[in-house]
Amino acid sequence: MSDTCVVSGSQEDALSKHPARRNVLNFMRVIIVDSLSLQVSQKTSPVIDLILDAQPENTTHAQQCRYEDTVNLN
C-alpha cells in the first residue's frame, strides 16, 4: 500500500495542540514498551498493532496517517 498522506486543516491543528496530547502519547508509549516483554500468542495481535488500528471510524485518511506517524515516531 503506497498511499500518500497530505495533512492540513484547522481541525487537525487543534488536535495536535491539545493540552492532553503529550500525556496521552506518553501513556501509549509506556503501554507499548511494557508490552514488548510479553509473549505474543498466535491468537492475539501485538499491542503495537492494536494501538495503530485504534482510530475512530469517521477519521480521514490524512488523520489516520498522521496518527500512525505520531505513534511510530514516539
The predicted structure's pLDDT at residue 65: 87
Contact between 4 and 60 under an 8 Å Cβ cutoff? The reply is no
- Tell me the C-alpha distance between 24 and 58, whole Å: 20
What are the extents of the domains in the chain?
A: 10-73
Cα 4 to chain centroid, rounded:
17
Q: Given CA atoms 35, 41, 44, 46 in this order, what sign does their dihedral have?
A: positive
Q: Is the pLDDT of residue 2 over 50?
A: no
Contact between 59 and 7 under an 8 Å Cβ cutoff? The reply is no
- Predicted TM-score (pTM) of the model is 0.64
Locate 2 and state its grid cell: 503506497
Mean local confidence (pLDDT), 2-12? 53
Q: Give percent of the chain with pLDDT exceeding 90.
A: 7
